[in-house]
Chains A and B, each alone.
Chain A
C-alpha cells in the first residue's frame, strides 16, 4: 500500500489542435485534444496536462473550450499551462474545469505572482513550470539555469535555487522540463531531475526527452521524480498509457493499474 507514481500525458495545443514538434520545429498535427484526452483517460492516465502554445492572443479562448469539454466527461485531474499571466487567467482556467494551472515565464518576470496565486487559489492548484538548461561544461560542478522563450533566453537564475524559491512562494508542485532534452527522445536529464527533486519537499514532474518506456522508469528510479510527463510517445500511439504502466510496474515502480 503506497502512493503510485503518476504518468501524465501532455497535449501541446495550438489553435485548438494537438501538435508536437521536435526541438520546436517540424510541428506535426496529432489530432483533436478532446478525443485524445478521452483516449488517455480510458487507457488509465493519472492526470492530463494541456500546454497552450497558441501564439495569437485572439485565439486563446479556444483552450478554455477544450478544457470545458474535457472536464465534463473526464474525471481525473487536469492541468493547463501556457500564457498564464494574471489571477484572472487562473480563475478562468479553474472555472473552465482545470484543477491546476502551470505558471512559467510570468513567475520569472515577477516571482510574487506565484505568492499571490497560491494565496488566492491555494498551493494545491499552483504548478510552477521550470525550463532549465545545463550551463556548466563537462568536468565542472553541474549547473542548470532557467531559460525563457522556449529555451532561447538565458536568465542567469540557478535552477535549484529557483525551484526552492518557488516552493517557498507557494508552488504546490514543480513541472521540470530539460530544454536540452525536450523533443530529442534521448530520455530525461536525470541528474537535473534528481537535484531538483531532492531539493524540494513538493512533488516534481519530470519532463522533456522521453523516447521509450525505460526513460519513464528511469525518471522515477534514477531521477527521483514523483510523476513523469510525456507527449509524442503517446500521441502517435507508439505506446499506450497502459503499456507504460505495465513496464514501470515490471521495473518495481508502484503504479495505478
Chain B
C-alpha cells in the first residue's frame, strides 16, 4: 500500500493543476496589492494634507507676548472718562522706561513702540475701563507683540538673511533680543484665535466672529431644513400617490442634490437679497441659503431611512387597527430616526464647509466684531479662511492653516457624532 499514485483520485501534485493554482493565487495577490496600494495612496494624501496644515498652522496656536509694567499716568487718562485716554502715549512712556537710552529720539521710540501690537492700547484701555481705580498705579500687562516680531520670535524671520531682504532691521532685532534677555518675552497659548473676532492685524485676528456666524447659519439651516426635509420625505414616501407627478418631483429632488452650490448662492442673492431685501452678510440668510442645499440631502436620506423600515412592522401596526398616520408617526418614523439623524448631520457638516454660496451673499466681508444676533453681519468659518488666505500679512499664513484645522475639527466631530448616533439608536429587528 505504499504506492500512492492514484488511478482514479485527483492528482493534487500534478503539473497542470499546480500551474493553474499558481496562476489563480498570483492574480489574487495582485488584486490584494492593488487594493492595498489604493488605500495607501489615499491615506498618504490625507496625511500629507493634515501634515502640511499642522506644520504651517501650529505656530498660530501660540502668540508672542510682552510682559510690561505700565504706569497708568493720570495725565493721559481722565478718571471721569477712562475710555478716551491717550493709551498710545502711555505705551510709549512704558517703552521709554524699558529703553532709557533712546528716551529723546522720537523716531527710535516710535519704532520701539511698534514692537507692541496695535491692539495693546485697547487691551490696556479695556482693563482700565473695567476698573478705573487702576489709574495712577503701575500694573503688569501681558500684551501681544506685533506680527513681525512674532514671526521673529517663532523663527520665521531669519536674522542671517541680508538686512535689506527682511522686514526687521538689525537694530530692531537687537532691541527684541534685549527684551528677550530680560525675560519679558513670553509665548503663551493663543487664546485670541478663538476669542477675538477678525482684525487687520494678524496677532489680534481670531475666529470668534466666524464661529458664531457659522453657528447661527447652521442653526438656521437646521431649523429650516430638518422639519421641511422630513415633512417632504414623509409625504413623498408614505402618503403621496404614485403617479407621474410624484415621479417628477422625485427626479427633481435628486437633481437638486447635484446642483453646484454656487448656483444656490446666486439664487439666494437674487431672491433673498434682491427681492426680499434681506440683510447682506447675515448668518440668517446664509443659513437659508445652506438650507436650500441641505434640503435635498435630508430628503434623500430620510426617504432611504423610511424605505429601510421593514414592511412587517407596518403590517403589524395596520393589523391591530392603527391608522396610516399612527403607523407612520408611531412606528415607521421612530425606527427611521437614526438614519434620518445621520443624514441630517452629514448634510449639516457639508453645509458647514460650504463656501461658494456664502461668498455670493457677502459673508466674506471684513467684520471686526462677532455677531450678536443672526441678523448682524458676520463671516463663517470657510469664508474666514478664504479672507485670511487672501491677506498679505505673513501672520495670516499660519492662521489660515490653523483656521482650517479648527474647521476640520468641527467637521470630524460632527461626523463622529453621526456615527455615534447611528450606533446608539440603531435597532435590530
Binding partners A and B: no
State the A residues within 8 Å of B (CB): none
B interface list, Cβ under 8 A from A = none
